[in-house]
Amino acid sequence: MKKNLFVTALTCPAPTSNYRGEKEENRLVLQKIIRQGKEYAVISPEAIRSAWREILQSYDPGLCNRSRLHNETQLAVQFQDYPWPERYIDDFFFGYFVAKREQIPEAIKKKRNFQFKRDSILRNNLALALEPYRQDTMFTQSPSTIENKSAPWKNTTDSVLLYRETTHTAFQFPFAINLIDCKLDDPELGEQYKRWLGLLLRALSELNGVAGNATRSYFEMAPASIVIRLTPSLVANYDTYGFQPDGTFPEVVEGILAEDYPGSEFILGGQMVRDKLSAETLTQLQAKGVRTYRMANQALNAICEKITGHGFEAESKKVKKGKSAK
């Protein structure tokens, strides 16, 4: 069995002020790292996982154990149960850590063969901007609240001129899954885990709400282009941040054509297939065993079908049909 799945996704480019750090007085600062001597905006893997979890929860409210509380003074979550990876998809894929072991009742420990710590099956990394940050900023003004006896409340009497760092870019981000950890062959729960993996890949194809400038900005994190490798190798063996500013991924494409990599292990999808690769190159890749799809979600559905025996698109259509029937 080819047990390791490696994926690099590339979003569409758009203006963004997403995933800010702490304010410097009235300046809203993008979080950035240095790459090849230039600053690039980043989005944390935790922000990606949080949005991924909420999308999974939107498919089925009882699917996830942890949920966000949006009306608190700081980031906050709540749990509907003790950790239970056999019952909750987020405990299964994202893992957990019980900081205070005494909170777990003895009956739960015995009944569930309880683990106080579970490593994440899904390993993902920072989303990295494709274009460097170029010192772009935008100015906005928060309004003052005028005294009015007929108004039930006022917020603040101060008006503040804000300026926020902004960049126009696409983001690329990798993730990996060891399929043995997914227990797809489990005699009792294997079918459930196959369905869960399909939901996880479907959620990636619809990934959104990762960050949003206090929920005001709209930036889709769903992949516009995608590179997928299913292999027995323990490493991807190529630069998992290999998308170039023009949207190509030359290391993988040229490596397959040079037979550095077995083409049968790769699936390519999205804009790189539609717009970036020539018809001749596509024909050569397909002759090497590469499967290509015009849409990234089609590529993800294809790898889901290859791993689990059925794609997630059929279930998605079934769910939508069921909702409309009601």
CA separation for the pair 119, 311 (Å, rounded):
26
289 neighbors 298 (Cβ within 8 angstroms) = no
User: Is the Cβ–Cβ distance between 291 and 264 less than 8 Å?
Assistant: no
Query: pLDDT by residue for the chain (326 residues), tens digit each?
Result: 579 999 999 999 999 886 555 555 667 788 899 999 999 999 999 989 999 999 999 999 899 999 988 888 787 889 999 999 999 999 999 999 999 999 999 999 999 989 999 999 999 999 999 999 998 888 877 777 777 777 788 777 777 777 788 899 999 999 999 999 999 999 999 999 999 999 999 999 999 988 755 556 788 999 999 999 999 999 999 999 999 999 999 999 999 999 999 999 999 999 999 999 999 999 999 999 999 999 999 999 999 999 999 998 766 555 554 443 33
Query: Would you state the pLDDT for residue 257?
Result: 98
Determine the straight-line distance between the first and last CA of the chain, rounded to whole angstroms.
41
Best CA proximity match to 261, nearest among 227, 300, 219: 227
The Cα 181–Cα 20 span in angstroms is: 34
Q: To the nearest 5 percent, what fractions of the chain are helix, strand and coil?
A: 30, 25, 45
Q: Can you give 144-191 as a three-state secondary structure string? A: CCCCCCCCCCCCCCCCEEEEEECEEECEEEEEEEECCCCCCCCCCCHH
Report the run of H or E that residue 266 belongs to, with start and end: strand 266-270
In whole angstroms, what is the distance from residue 182 CA to residue 162 CA? 47
Are the C-beta atoms of 122 and 94 separated by less than 8 Å? Answer: yes
For the chain, the C-alpha Rg in angstroms (whole number) is: 22
pLDDT of residue 300: 98
Tell me, what amino acid is at 127?
A
Give the model's pLDDT for residue 213: 53
3-state secondary structure of 222: coil
pLDDT at position 212 is 58
Going by their DSSP bridges, the two strands 27-28 and 160-165 should be labelled as parallel
**Three-state SS string across 17-84, please?**
CCCECCCECCEECECEEEECCEEEEEECHHHHHHHHHHHHHHHCCCCCCEEEECCCCCCEEEECCCCC
SS3 88: coil
Task: Please tell me the distance from the alpha carbon of residue 212 to that of residue 19, in angstroms, as a whole number.
Answer: 7
CA distance 223 to 295: 9
- Which residue's entry shows tokens 């935790």? 46
CA distance 276 to 265: 21
Query: What's the one-letter identity of residue 299?
Result: A
**E strands, 181-247, where?**
225-231
Provide the residue type at 95 as one letter. G
> Cα(239)–Cα(254) distance, rounded to whole angstroms?
13
Q: How many whole angstroms separate alpha carbon 178 and alpha carbon 176?
A: 7
Contact by Cβ (8 Å): 205, 297? yes
